[in-house]
């Protein structure tokens, strides 16, 4: 006859010896296993090896055929010759010059290409560290296969493409991953690291001082690569802190202490150096001027650009409660607002445009829809 659970409990209470024996038979739950450091190191090495296979052919085609690579190499050559800063965001140029001087056999073009290949691989590593954060332990081969695929998916993701809307794969869309601009490519791994620090996704320094210094460092370095992400992240971090305060959640003041002073300093310096060198036209207001240079179907392309992340947000309840995802959406919203309506420095040769040269008849007649 089966003994009901309550009867065994009663018997244990009546007999202390039996209770001690029963207690000794209880097996405590096994602690949750974590992915070993060796597995993570092996996965990072796999990403680096695949980078040579995946990125080099891809980057060669993009850089030499459809990019601003040669313009920025010319700027780096001028900086090397004149020995002065010519761009407010000069990190790519500085890295290319440094590699060129360090390895004398490399031309400036080769050094610039190696810089971009390294930045692309570093972006995949940063994406891997983020998507694998908090993942349960699994066999090493499964861990590597799962998270390498997810990491590459992060850095290859793009808009939903409908050929009936436009045959062009980029023009007019909000492209999550851009490869034509070397400064954006160098920014990519730095922006991912900064996002992880601000959102608390992956790297969490042991002290607030360490967190503040780490955030401030990546704010400055990211802005020197390209200030676009910092300009979007600063208001997003402020809004998120205010939201945490209003709903009674712990407010991470160390994030704002790390972000705001560093951003004010580096962006102020870039504005000053930009006015003193290349960008002399000042600040101009031109809603939708930049986006309309390349397409007249901004509305449908915007919807296609956000279709997948919006579907995730609408269908997964836990996604709507994820603080890191909220920070990402806020930064994206401020980025869209800046791209469509906010002013920016215009080159000295431009007139009444927000982010580029004026739209000429020749350009508009050949630009993709």
Task: Give the tens place of pLDDT for each residue, 291-321.
Answer: 676 677 777 888 888 888 888 888 888 887 8
pLDDT at residue 367 in the model = 37
Q: Which residues of the chain have pLDDT under 70?
A: 1-35, 55-56, 58-60, 62-66, 164-169, 202-207, 276-291, 293-294, 340-369
- The DSSP element (H or E) to which 130 belongs, if any, is helix 108-131
Question: What beta strand segments (E) does 212-347 contain?
Answer: 283-284, 344-345
The two three-digit tokens of residue 154, written as one number: 């992060």
Q: What pTM, to 2 d.p., does this model score?
A: 0.78
State whether the Cα torsion 196-201-206-212 is positive or negative.
Answer: positive
Q: Under a CB-based contact definition with an 8 Å cutoff, are residues 98 and 114 in contact?
A: no
Helix, strand or coil, per DSSP, at residue 284:
strand
| Burial (CB count within 10 angstroms: exposed 0-12, middle 13-18, buried 19+), residue 239 | middle
User: What percentage of the chain's residues is helix, strand, coil (to nearest 5)?
Assistant: 65, 0, 35
The ranges assigned to domains in the chain are 36-156
| Helix residue spans in 132-176 (DSSP H) | 140-156
pLDDT at residue 200 in the model = 81
pLDDT at residue 180 in the model = 80
Q: To the nearest 10°, report the CA torsion of 354, 261, 212, 238.
A: -60
- Residues composing the chain: 369
Closest CA to 35 of 132, 157, 103, 122: 132
At 243-299, the pLDDT tens digits run 888 888 777 888 899 999 999 999 999 888 877 666 554 556 666 666 676 677 777
- Tell the residue number behind the tokens 């712990």, with chain if given: 250
How far apart are alpha carbons 216 and 343 in whole angstroms?
A: 25
Q: To the nearest 10°, report the CA torsion of 54, 224, 98, 78.
A: 110
pLDDT at residue 31 in the model = 47
The two three-digit tokens of residue 54, written as one number: 């995946």
């Amino acid at each position: 006859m089966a003994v009901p659970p309550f009867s065994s409990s009663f018997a244990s209470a009546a007999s202390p010896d039996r209770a001690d024996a029963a207690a000794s038979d209880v097996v405590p739950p096994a602690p949750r296993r974590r992915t070993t450091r060796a597995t993570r190191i092996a996965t990072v090495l796999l990403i680096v090896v695949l980078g040579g296979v995946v990125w080099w052919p891809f980057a060669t085609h993009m850089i030499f055929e459809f990019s601003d690579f040669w313009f920025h190499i010319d700027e780096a050559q001028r900086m090397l010759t004149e020995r002065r800063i010519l761009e407010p965001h000069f990190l790519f140029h500085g890295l290319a010059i440094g590699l060129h001087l360090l390895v004398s056999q490399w031309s400036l073009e080769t050094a610039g290409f190696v810089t971009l290949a390294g930045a692309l691989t570093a972006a995949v590593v940063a994406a891997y560290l983020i998507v694998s954060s908090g993942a349960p332990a699994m066999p090493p081969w499964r861990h590597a296969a799962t998270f390498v695929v997810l990491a590459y998916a992060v850095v290859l993701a793009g808009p939903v493409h409908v050929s009936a809307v436009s045959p062009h794969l980029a023009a007019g869309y909000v492209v999550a991953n851009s490869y034509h601009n070397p400064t954006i490519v160098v920014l990519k791994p730095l922006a991912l690291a900064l996002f992880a620090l601000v959102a608390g996704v992956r790297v969490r320094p042991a002290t607030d001082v360490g967190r503040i210094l780490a955030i401030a460092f990546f704010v400055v370095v990211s802005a020197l690569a390209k200030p676009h992400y910092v300009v979007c992240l600063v208001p997003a971090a402020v809004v998120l802190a205010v939201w945490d305060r209003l709903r009674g959640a712990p407010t991470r003041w160390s994030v704002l202490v790390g972000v705001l002073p560093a951003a004010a300093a580096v962006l102020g310096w870039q504005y000053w150096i930009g006015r003193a060198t290349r960008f002399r036209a000042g600040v101009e207001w031109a809603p939708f001027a930049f986006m309309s240079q390349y397409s007249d179907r901004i509305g449908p392309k915007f919807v296609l650009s956000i279709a997948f992340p919006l579907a995730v947000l609408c269908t997964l309840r836990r996604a709507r409660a994820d603080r890191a995802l909220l920070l990402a959406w806020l930064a994206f919203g401020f980025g869209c607002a800046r791209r469509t309506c906010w002013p920016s420095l215009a080159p000295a040769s431009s007139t009444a445009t927000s982010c580029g040269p004026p739209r000429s008849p020749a350009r508009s007649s050949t630009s993709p829809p």
